[in-house]
Amino acid sequence: MLNLMKLELKKNKIRGNIVGGFIATFLIMFFVIVLNYDTTEEIPFSDYNAIFAFINTFTSITFTIFASVLLAKYIIDEYKSGSITVLFMYPLERKKLLLAKIAVVFLFTFLFGIISRVVIFTGFYWYNQYAHFIPGTLGTELLLQQGVGVLVNSVMVSCISLASLYFGMRKHSVPATIVSAIIIGVILNSTSGTNGFTLNSIIIIPATFAVIGILVAYLAIRNVEVKDVT
């Protein structure tokens, strides 16, 4: 399995995706900092909890969509172009081939879910030491709490991102894969009211979507050994 994942990374030039992930990360960090200079409205972030919530929302949406692009590139586009047929001619289980592709996307989304949040918050925190957007100090208890939250949320987003595979596999449509991911990301992370409430705040909702994502991945590879590539 690891060898198949390495081949996928080499074949699809993962370096470009890594660069893209870091570009998205720094753009979000820049936006978070610039947002604090908007003096026409009230201060957008009153404390570090608000900052963590904002970063979490934007990274969740960004990497849900990013994952759908990878799914479209690694799986959907190969079905659409017919190149998946060539792969299936190799003396390897089709399930393992597809599972390796899904695993690469899952791990990429998970790792960048952690990396992006750490980089964005660290950048904002150090800039805040100079600009003093948010007064006070950052407590160890809050850091530990948010650290656990980052891990849990990164797993959730990685699973949820797989749900877009269902829409893409129906007619092997790249646009359907990406658009469905945008819709899912926006629905789960759109804020309501002034308190920053999102559906993602209700743990049962993202957990349900995560289970659906895992189920979609399972269904995508369940009958691949006997199903024709059409």
- Predicted pLDDT at 194: 44
Helix (H, G, I), strand (E, B) or coil at 197: strand
Arithmetic mean of pLDDT, 204-224: 85
Q: Helix 140-160 and helix 204-222: axis angle, to 10°?
A: 40
In this structure, is residue 228 part of a structural domain?
A: no
Burial of 96 (0-12, 13-18, 19+ CB in 10 A): middle
In this structure, is residue 230 part of a structural domain?
A: no
In this structure, is residue 123 part of a structural domain?
A: yes
Contacts of residue 209, Cβ cutoff 8 Å, sequence gap at least 6: 156, 159, 160, 163, 184, 188
Closest by CA position to 152, among listed 197, 115, 110, 121: 110
The pLDDT of residue 218 is above 50: yes
Closest by CA position to 53, among listed 158, 216, 196: 196
Q: What is the pTM of this model?
A: 0.85
In this structure, is residue 229 part of a structural domain?
A: no
Contact indicator for 131, 45 with CB cutoff of 8 Å:
no
pLDDT tens readout for residues 114-161 = 999 999 999 988 888 887 778 777 778 888 888 898 999 999 999 999
- Number of residues assigned to the chain: 230
In this structure, is residue 77 part of a structural domain?
A: yes
Domain count, the chain: 1
In this structure, is residue 227 part of a structural domain?
A: no
In this structure, is residue 6 part of a structural domain?
A: yes
- 11-15, 85-89, 166-170 — which is least confidently predicted? 85-89
CA–centroid distance for 143 within its chain: 22
Confidence of residue 107 (pLDDT cuts 50, 70, 90): very high
In this structure, is residue 193 part of a structural domain?
A: yes
* Separation between Cα atoms, residue 100 and residue 94, nearest integer Å: 10
pLDDT tens readout for residues 169-209 = 888 889 999 999 999 988 888 765 445 567 777 788 888 88
Rg (CA), the chain: 19
**Residue holding tokens 């369940």?**
222
Range of the domain at 24: 2-38+46-222
